[in-house]
């Protein structure tokens, strides 16, 4: 058993929240690649059963833990506590812990998990950073917009991300919306999560935004609102057909991400990132020793997306391997 010296200062924890695809992983990678000299532990919570985000986080090998298939603000809170304690009790504990919560998490629920006595001596929440997607946040349907508001109101600092993709009117409308939700919050404009390190790692949790004003039921609703579906295949896919599929996905699909094994580019892993209507397929690293495989996660509002139909189309994208 490891004895935690309560005289030691607790490890600061920064919770990174924000709607599906807002740019949380991108922000984490920005922090991890910056020169701040601090040893950072990372915890990643993916909502789907395939932990895509963990594979997209650079630079951390030892101090990284993943929590997949559940949401840290409610269904897997105990796992979160265990994972954080494991990081904190290492022989070489991190000096700072970053938690990427799933895109459907209520940050107040994640924060609440840290109030439990078993964890209070070892870690302390430094602050909640909420990443807001400047492109999509104002276009969300009501139920999802409600969740986005909850995420903003639980943030101590707002990173208004993807400012490169919107015009100045949209940007100011989004800022008005944020200020309406949380009048005094600091907003930092960003592209690809790039804001100064002192700001990111030195956030102080404002007790004004502590979870007191959220009812516990609020952060249990999202299990009803979202469902995830994943697809895996070891057969190469035809890129042209896949692109056609990506252009015709239902609008109730909020997020898709993962890796593609393409017949046209068999040696490299392709990375698919779809947020709202915006799909980007890019060449990632070579497959190397790992067997090429398509692994995709889709996240939609519950019972609105015909995943069987998507599966059929995905199957039809498989390239028929011709024998020579
Ligand atoms: N143009 C542009 N794209 C961005 C920016 N930030 C992130 N992206 C892209 O948006 C997509 C989603 O970014 P992620 O960092 O994976 O978002 P996330 O919040 O971690 O997503 P989930 O974990 O699925 O909720 C990726 O394709 C990013 O490259 C930005 O400022 N500008």
Lowest mean pLDDT among 77-86, 119-128, 199-208, 293-302: 199-208
Query: CATH topology for 226-316?
Result: Hypothetical Protein Yjia; Chain: A;domain 2 (3.30.1220)
Which among 15, 16, 23, 106 is the best mutation to test ligand 1's pocket, defined by most ligand atoms within 8 Å of the CB? 23
State percent of the chain over pLDDT 90: 52
| pLDDT above 50 (res 228) | yes
Please provide residue 219's backbone torsions phi and psi, each rounded to the nearest 5 degrees: -95, 20
As a whole number, mean pLDDT of residues 94-123 equals 87
Bridge partners of 12, per DSSP, are 124
Nearest-CA neighbor of 22 among 161, 167, 196, 223?
161
By DSSP bridging, strand 96-100 and strand 40-46 are parallel
pLDDT, tens only, 3-37: 545 555 789 999 999 999 999 999 999 998 888 88
Q: 226-316: same fold as 11-220?
A: no
**Residue ranges covered by each domain of the chain:** 11-220, 226-316
Q: Which CATH superfamily is domain 11-220 in?
A: P-loop containing nucleotide triphosphate hydrolases (3.40.50.300)
Check if 165 has its Cβ closer than 6 Å to any atom of ligand 1.
yes
CA-CA-CA-CA torsion sign (68, 126, 29, 137): positive
Distances (CA, A) of 63 to 43, 103, 180: 8, 22, 38
pLDDT of residue 219 exceeding 60, the answer is no
pTM of the model: 0.85
Q: Can you tell me the ipTM of this complex?
A: 0.99
What count of other Cβ atoms lies within 10 Å of the Cβ of residue 162? 26
Give distance in angstroms: CA of 90 to centre of ligand 1: 31
Ligand 1 mean position, distance from CA 117 (Å): 35
């Amino acid at each position: 058993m490891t004895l935690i010296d309560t005289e030691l200062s607790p490890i600061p924890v920064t919770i990174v929240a924000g709607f599906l695809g807002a740019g949380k992983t991108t922000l984490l990678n920005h922090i991890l690649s910056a020169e701040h000299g601090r040893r950072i532990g990372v915890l990643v919570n993916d909502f789907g059963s395939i932990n895509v985000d963990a594979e997209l986080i650079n630079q951390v090998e030892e101090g990284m833990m993943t929590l997949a298939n559940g949401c840290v603000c409610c269904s897997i809170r105990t796992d979160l506590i265990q994972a954080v304690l494991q990081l904190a009790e290492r022989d070489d504990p991190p000096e700072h812990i970053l938690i990427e919560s799933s895109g459907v998490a209520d940050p107040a629920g994640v924060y609440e998990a840290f109030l439990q006595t078993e964890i209070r001596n070892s870690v302390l929440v430094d602050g909640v950073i909420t990443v807001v997607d400047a492109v999509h946040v104002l276009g969300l349907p009501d139920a999802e917009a409600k969740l986005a508001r909850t995420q903003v109101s639980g943030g101590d600092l707002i990173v208004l991300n993807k400012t490169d993709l919107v015009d100045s009117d949209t940007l100011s409308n989004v800022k008005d919306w944020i200020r309406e939700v949380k009048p005094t919050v600091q907003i930092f404009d960003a592209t690809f999560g790039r804001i100064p390190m002192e700001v990111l790692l030195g956030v102080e949790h404002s007790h004004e935004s502590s979870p007191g004003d959220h009812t516990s039921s609020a952060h249990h609703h999202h299990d009803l609102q979202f469902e995830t579906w994943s697809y895996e295949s070891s057969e190469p896919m035809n890129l042209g057909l896949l692109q056609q599929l990506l252009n015709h996905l239902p609008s109730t699909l909020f997020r898709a991400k993962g890796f593609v094994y393409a017949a046209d580019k068999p040696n490299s892993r392709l990375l698919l990132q779809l947020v709202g209507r915006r799909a980007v397929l890019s060449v990632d690293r070579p497959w190397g020793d790992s067997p090429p495989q398509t692994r995709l996660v889709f996240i939609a509002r519950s019972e609105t997306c015909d995943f069987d139909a998507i599966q059929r189309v995905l199957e039809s994208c498989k390239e028929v391997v011709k024998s020579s």
